[in-house]
Structure 1
Amino acid sequence: MAIKLYGPMVSTCAVRVMTCLHEKLVEYSLHPVDLLAGEHRQPAFLSKNPFGLAPVLEDGDLTLFESRAITGYLAEKYKDKGYDLIRHQNPKEAAFVKVWIEVESHHFNPLIHPIIYHYFVSPLLGKTPDQSIIDANVAQLGKVLDVYDTRLSSNKYLAGDFYSLADLHHLPYTHYLMKTPYADLIQSRPHVRAWWENVSSRPTFAKVSTNMKFE
């Protein structure tokens, strides 16, 4: 039975999962969810994720939500197929993948999320973006990216000299950041810039990023 993914094509979390599926050469069917119309709050969707958040993945009788949990599941289930995103044959390298997955989740995402939300999403909801929130998070994100720049000065990728799930998890939000006036957060840090140009050019991400357009 083919994997089913429920979520909008513009969703950062859905894109995270779609990119992983392409890296693992796994076929899936995408079932769009209209968040602006509130489809994620309807009983049909809430039966899949009681928190009402996209995406949701169905693999036979298994239903999963939370994008990082989904990518972890896919990377492990299909560890011998497609690109090895978790370095399962090298415990030391695998440990660094896990470290930088945690860094993205706890240090990077909480800061970049409100920037993207207020810049792109608030206007779609008829709200005025809160520039003070954007500015505060831009300042803090810059400090985090200084750490990244140091890390990437001696490693091609975040977990080492190999692309991994840790890099993949950064793709969707950074893609949107590069379309804002705050792209200099990436461009002004030479090692971060080189890393971004590398990871964002992967064909797997190109397949899904073309549809990442807020309209």
Structure 2
Amino acid sequence: MVLKLYGVSYASGGTGLVAMVLAEKQVPFELVPIDIDNGEQKRPDHVAKNPFGQVPVIDDDGFVLYEGRAICRYLAEKYADQGAPLIPGNLRDKALFEQAASVEYSNFFPQVVKVAMESVIKKDQGLPVDETVLGEELVKLSAVLDEFTLADLFHLCFAPSGIRQGGPDFIAGRGPNVTRWWSEITSRPTWVKLWEEGIKSIGV
């Protein structure tokens, strides 16, 4: 049975993150589109898979798992011997990976979400953007970005849409390590393809 990915069809949020890991690991999967704009994620059949009524969710031959980062870790461990090595095997290197992942989730992710909520999501919904709030959140995000030097796929969850609001010089002004980091993760062929074409079933 081919793995099923329940989520949105565009490369953003947790679904985009899981789709990139699947692509990096060359794992066939079937996308089961969930129309979150119309609340399909809150329907009883989906809530039975994720009690919080959210996406993404995977069904791997009867094993149902939700929460994007947990799914990514599961896939990276299950398919450790194929595709790109996403989680180090060495104990100390793995500890550093978990450290970076924790920093991303605790410090980077909350700021990116705030920027995306105030700019991208409000614009999509036709709501006025509070430029003062947006400016304040971009300053906070700028300070957080200066702390990162490692390429970490978890940063791709909301970063492309959130950081874009800072203008073309936003990343360039963060310093050489951040510029290199951003260029490396956003130029990977798997991400470019997902960003340009959206998420589609592969190998089925």
- TM superposition score normalised by structure 2: 0.89
After the TM superposition, which parts of structure 1 deviate over 4 Å for at least 4 consecutive aligned residues?
Answer: none
Q: How does 1:121-200 map to 2 (within 5 A)?
A: 121-148=121-148, 152=149, 158=150, 167-189=152-174, 190-200=176-186
C-alpha distance in structure 1 between counterparts of 2:136 and 2:54, whole Å: 26
Instruction: Encode CA deviations 1:10-29: one digit per residue, 9 max, x unaligned.
Output: 33210100000111111101
User: How far apart are 1:175 and its partner, in Å?
Assistant: 1.7
Q: List alignment gaps of at least 5 residues for structure 2.
A: 199-204
- Report SS of the residue matched to 2:46: helix
C-alpha distance in structure 1 between counterparts of 2:118 and 2:171, whole Å: 19
Compared with structure 1, are the counterparts of its residues 52 and 182 closer, same or farther at alpha carbon in structure 2 (3 Å cutoff)?
farther
| 118-127 or 91-100, larger mean C-alpha shift | 118-127
User: How far apart are 1:179 and its partner, in Å?
Assistant: 3.2
Compared with structure 1, are the counterparts of its residues 112 and 195 closer, same or farther at alpha carbon in structure 2 (3 Å cutoff)?
same
Q: Say if 1:16 and 1:172, in contact at 8 Å, map to a contact too.
A: yes
CA RMSD of aligned residues (A): 1.7
Q: Say if 1:138 and 1:182, in contact at 8 Å, map to a contact too.
A: no
Identify the residue that residue 96 of structure 2 maps to in structure 1: 96
Q: Say if 1:122 and 1:128, in contact at 8 Å, map to a contact too.
A: yes
User: How far apart are 1:174 and its partner, in Å?
Assistant: 2.3
Q: Say if 2:4 and 2:30, in contact at 8 Å, map to a contact too.
A: yes
Identify the residue that residue 46 of structure 1 maps to in structure 2: 47
C-alpha distance in structure 1 between counterparts of 2:125 and 2:144, whole Å: 29
Q: Say if 1:145 and 1:185, in contact at 8 Å, map to a contact too.
A: no
Compared with structure 1, are the counterparts of its residues 211 and 177 closer, same or farther at alpha carbon in structure 2 (3 Å cutoff)?
farther
Identify the residue that residue 86 of structure 2 maps to in structure 1: 85
C-alpha distance in structure 2 between counterparts of 1:113 and 1:178, whole Å: 10
- Report SS of the residue matched to 1:147: coil
Identify the residue that residue 204 of structure 1 maps to in structure 2: 190
- TM superposition score normalised by structure 1: 0.85
Q: List alignment gaps of at least 5 residues for structure 1.
A: 153-157
C-alpha distance in structure 2 between counterparts of 1:183 and 1:144, whole Å: 18
C-alpha distance in structure 1 between counterparts of 2:129 and 2:96, whole Å: 36
User: How far apart are 1:184 and its partner, in Å?
Assistant: 3.4
Q: Say if 2:138 and 2:166, in contact at 8 Å, map to a contact too.
A: no
C-alpha distance in structure 2 between counterparts of 1:44 and 1:129, whole Å: 35
User: How far apart are 1:131 and its partner, in Å?
Assistant: 2.9
C-alpha distance in structure 2 between counterparts of 1:183 and 1:147, whole Å: 20
| Higher-RCO chain (CA-CA 8 Å, sequence separation at least 6) | 2
